[in-house]
Amino acid sequence: MLRSKRGDITRRGFFMAFPDYYQLSSEFGEGAVAKVVRAGNLKTGNTVALKVLKDITDEEDIRRLGREMDILSRIEHPAVVRYLGHGTTSEGAPYVEMEWLEGSSLRDVLMARERLELIEILDILIPVISALATCHENGIIHRDIKPENIMLCSPGGKTVKLIDFGMAKLLKGTPITHDGQLFGTPQYIAPERITMDQDLTGAIDVYALGIMAYEMMTGVRPFDHEEVQKILMMHLTEKVPPMHEMAPDLAIHPGFSRIVRRMVRQEPLQRPLATTLYTDFRVLRATVERMDSRL
């Protein structure tokens, strides 16, 4: 996860290696393998985000960033962070240029508010599931759907963006197989990613989005524990409990409950496709809006 912080980049030689047509800002973020800096692209006049690796000797990180560039360059969707280009610093570090997003992550919003209203939830889920439908139709799975990777952009958080395709994979005409390593955030990982006994499909994104929808409504994740192995075992051996059991004080729309319950089924073939979910969520939103207008 990239967390915003401020620093004097004029004292950080790492950032001074970018081409001189970037006017660098003091605002940047940092994750486990990459740094992000805000910059002005003097050629285009755009404010951009530059994502660059911290360790240019790590071949796996280099491959992963290259894959992210490739995938982002293939996707054009209003709810996906926009790829603008890529290059290499004078030190040999590859970087990717993306649109700069002003706003807050969904995680930040949930930390401040815990729960969201149904209409708010649907207004987040609809663009995200639309973005995932486009990804899946183009043979791409995100593999890291979670609130940290959903940006609610200014003004008013009405523009929703799916970010961080660092773990995404291309299907390339055949199902994705496991590479023997488990990446991702345990609370959102689909069972088939844990067992590593079958090819991966877009159903893993649907499962993770279902967990996220559950969390937005109830304020809690269905499976959580301080020990990662116990969380993984819960995904494998337990059904996701009904939302009303986790939040008995809430009046949860039955239509929303039914959709989420289908999304988090343990068997991937029993989960709906992203295209189906897009229609289901839009119909539900229209229904809720009509009900609200009568009050």
Residues of the chain with pLDDT under 70: 1-16, 26-28, 172-183, 197, 295
So what's the pLDDT on residue 53?
85
Sequence spans of domains, the chain = 13-99, 103-290
**Residues annotated as catalytic (active site), given as ranges:** 144
- Between β-strands 103-105 and 94-99, what pairing exists: parallel, antiparallel or unpaired? unpaired
Q: Which fold has domain 13-99?
A: Phosphorylase Kinase; domain 1 (3.30.200)
Tens digits of per-residue pLDDT, 133-148? 999 999 999 999 999 9
Cβ count near 138 (within 10 Å): 14
Nearest to 42 by CA among 20, 21, 26: 21
So what's the pLDDT on residue 1?
32
Superfamily of domain 103-290: Transferase(Phosphotransferase) domain 1 (1.10.510.10)
Residue 226, CA distances (Å) to 83, 187, 220, 264 in order = 36, 11, 14, 22
So what's the pLDDT on residue 13?
45
Tell me the pTM: 0.88
